[in-house]
Amino acid sequence: MMEMPDAILICGGLGTRLKTVLGQLPKPLVEVNGRPFLDYLVDDLIATGVSRIIFSSGYRAQVIREHYSNRRDAEFVFSEETSPLGTAGALKLAESRVRSEVFLAMNGDSYCAINYKNFLESHRRRKARASLALVEVTDASDYGGVRMDDAGWIRNFAEKTTAGRGRVNAGIYLFSREVFASIPAGQPCSLEREVFPTLLETGVAGYLVNAALYDIGTPERLERARAYFAGRSLRP
């Protein structure tokens, strides 16, 4: 049986475009059909065998900590920013809490129905330093496209300018521990803009997922996520 690695959920965003919906809640805890959005990601990770989940949080981090303090179906660990560090800076801060040699990282404000075990198997088979889950969307202009070669290695990242169909970053990653060495400590740093481009020459694998990407960045997208999860309001 394949042992699943530690997972880091990146939950530091302010959710400024959702303020009228969130109130004082951190964005990943926004209500989706009677449950916090983040619960759906946590449930999926546990169902696939992940037993150790690290919450990398910032704004109102104590609310996330309190929400998971009474759950006993996995080991929950907390890495909390005192100031915003960006997606890569948040991972670097959590480095000492990661025990596995390969670790899963994912955005806490988006969801894609991925087979985590197949993703891990692909990452290990290809001996990649980093693997990115990718999805096809009809309009990549709001995400920024990702170009992958015929062998499945990512060659470049495009800015949020080109309209039309394309492959985009689903916000789900697998990393070897050595990637931590590419991230500066104690300062803001972005995975997308600063870390991934430096890793391209040493091997960033793309993993195409045949599923839709749901994020909760705007009230309209939040409603689409609520429609998708309408039949999953209860914990499995």
**Domains of the chain in sequence order:** 7-132+171-207+215-228 (3.90.550.10)
Residue that wins the pLDDT comparison between 114 and 164: 114
Look at residue 107 and tell me whether its pLDDT is greater than 80.
yes
Tokens describing residue 4: 């699943």
pLDDT given for residue 139 in this prediction: 78
How large is the average pLDDT for residues 145-155?
Answer: 91
How large is the average pLDDT for residues 173-192?
Answer: 95
SS3 labels along the chain: CCCCCCEEEEECCCCHHHHHHHCCCCHHHCEECCEEHHHHHHHHHHHCCCCEEEEEECCCHHHHHHHHCCCCCCEEEEEECCCCCHHHHHHHHCHHHCCCCEEEEEECCEEECCCHHHHHHHHHHHCCCEEEEEEEECCHHHCCEEEECCCCEEEEECCCCCCCCEEEEEEEEEEEHHHHHHCCCCCCCCHHHHHHHHHHHHCEEEEECCCCEEECCCHHHHHHHHHHCCCCCCCC
Look at residue 236 and tell me whether its pLDDT is greater than 50.
no
Q: Catalytic residue, from 27, 117, 127, 160: name it.
A: 160
Residue that wins the pLDDT comparison between 201 and 55: 55
**Which of 182, 186, 174 has its CA nearest to residue 198?**
182
Tokens describing residue 134: 């990718």
> Does the predicted TM-score (pTM) go above 0.85?
yes
Confidence of residue 141 (pLDDT cuts 50, 70, 90): confident
User: CA 129, 147, 175: angle at the middle one, nearest 5?
Assistant: 20
Look at residue 95 and tell me whether its pLDDT is greater than 90.
yes
First vs last C-alpha separation in the chain: 22
Confidence of residue 15 (pLDDT cuts 50, 70, 90): low
Confidence of residue 160 (pLDDT cuts 50, 70, 90): low
- Per the listing, tokens 């970053």 go with 169
CA distance 67 to 51: 17
Look at residue 235 and tell me whether its pLDDT is greater than 80.
no
Structure-derived torsion over alpha carbons of residues 115, 130, 168, 188, reported in degrees to the nearest 10: 120
Of the listed ranges 41-45, 164-168, 206-210, the least confidently predicted one is 164-168
The answer to whether 160 is a known catalytic residue is yes
Contact 103, 111 (CB under 8 A): no
Per-residue pLDDT tens digits for 31-80: 998 899 999 999 999 999 999 999 999 888 999 999 999 899 999 999 99
